[in-house]
Structures are given as structure tokens and as C-alpha cells.
Amino acid sequence: MLENLPVETIEYRLSPEEQVCSCCGGNLHEMSTQVRQELKYIPAELKVVKHVQSIYSCRHCEREEIETPVVTAPMPKPVHSGSLASPSLMAHIMNQKYVDGYAIIPARKAIFQIGVPLSRQTLANWMIHGVNRWLSPLYDRMHQLLLEKDILHADESTLQVLHEPGQYQPPQNHISGSTVLEKKDLQSSFTIIRKLGQAKMPRNSCQGLKDIYRLMDTPGTIRYLM
């Protein structure tokens, strides 16, 4: 369980002056050791990284009034121009959102507790930028691969997303997902209610599909064959 973790070793030894036998006054030697292990938690921290880009010019050309070339040292481009977002912070927030399933509010509180009062709108803008830049191409590729299959199965279950006092609560939210079905996996117990001219699935997911059927399923769940 602990094999892949870094190890910090702290040794506790007697000084040479203390290595004296309390009985006869002779020198002590190390007979053995005993080891105790514990897991150390290192809290997250934020630090400011200043990117200082040097700009160079030619003094000879300046003195001779020749056209002076200006050379700028190369520097990595920011992940989000005009913001404080770094690659590591952007990756951390997106990982919390899409891997751990956390909302933006807990992420903002965690950063605030470290000492940086970033607004929820700022983090939301970072998320939108990150999704458009890195996740949208991945989504488009997955969508393309899904459409290459003969039969797809989609699930659209109702879900209450927010419970904020005093805020308007949408009457019905949906969480949607699609997967691939082979023809041999179709179950005869599915009952087709009616063929839909336009499904309630997101329009981007329905583009390129020939037929969409709505299937009877458990209450609160809408399922489609496409």
C-alpha cells in the first residue's frame, strides 16, 4: 500500500557523550533499531511565480543610429492570458470538477483558506476556458467515434443539482450519458413507446443520428436507442 509513496527517514541516535553504560561506564554499541511508520499529510500551498522576460538590443546599432533589432527571450505562453491561472492550478481545479465531482464553491473556499480570495466567477471563467481549449476536442472525438457505431444507448436521468435558499430551482435537471450497444446486447424487454421526431437529448449528441426511439424504463429515467 505504501510502496509508491516518498519516504522521509528521521533517525534518533545518542550523541557520543551519551553512549556510556550506566552500569560500568563502558562504551555502548548499536545493538539494533526499531521502526515506526506514519503517514504525514502535507497541506496544499500557493506561491507566486513571476515570469521575468528579458529584452535585448544592440548598443552598437544604437550608437551608430542603425535600425536597432530587439530580441526577446522566449517564454512559455500562459494557459489563460491576463489571469493568475497557472497550468498546475488550472489542472487542479479541473480535476476537482470533472474527476472528483466537486463544485466550484468548495474549490474557491479551499483557495480562500490558503489566503487568496479568488471569486467564484473567476474560477468559473477559468473552467470555461479550460473546457473549450482542452476538453472540447476530446468530447468531439468521442462523439465522432460513437456515431460510427450502429446502435447507441443513452440515459437521461433527472437530477436536482442545486439547493440554494432563495434561489430559483429548475423544475427538472437531467444528467445525460451515451454508450455503445452491440445488436446482440439488445434486450427484448425494452418497450418502444413512440418514435421521436426530436429527442430531449442535447442537440449536439443527436446530430448525425438517423432514428431516435424513446424506451419505457424506471420512473425518473428516460432512455433512448439511436
Q: Return the SS3 of 113.
A: helix
Residue found under cell 432512455: 223
Domain ranges of the chain: 87-148, 150-161+170-226
Instruction: Specify the pLDDT at position 1.
Output: 83
Better pLDDT: 160 or 18: 18
Rounded Cα distance, 205 and 193, in Å: 21
Cβ of 79: how many Cβ atoms within 10 Å?
18
Helical residues (DSSP H) of the chain, grouped into ranges = 59-63, 87-98, 104-114, 120-130, 136-147, 203-206
CA 216 vs. chain centroid, Å, equals: 35
Give pTM, 2 decimals: 0.61
Lowest mean pLDDT among 109-123, 132-146, 159-173: 159-173
- Closest C-alpha to 187, from 220, 158, 217: 217
Task: Report, as an integer, the average pLDDT of 155-174.
Answer: 60
Instruction: Specify the pLDDT at position 198.
Output: 38
Instruction: Specify the pLDDT at position 59.
Output: 85
Query: What pLDDT, in 10s, does the model give residues 57-91?
Result: 888 888 887 777 888 999 999 999 999 999 999 99
- Closest C-alpha to 180, from 157, 158, 151: 151
Instruction: Specify the pLDDT at position 44.
Output: 83
For residue 103, name the pLDDT band (cuts at 50, 70, 90). confident
**Which grid coordinates belong to 86?**
497557472
**Which grid coordinates belong to 161?**
443539482
Instruction: Specify the pLDDT at position 224.
Output: 47
In the chain, what's the furthest Cα-to-Cα distance? 98
* Contact (Cβ atoms closer than 8 angstroms) between residue 179 and residue 153: yes
Q: Return the SS3 of 195.
A: strand
Better pLDDT: 80 or 172: 80
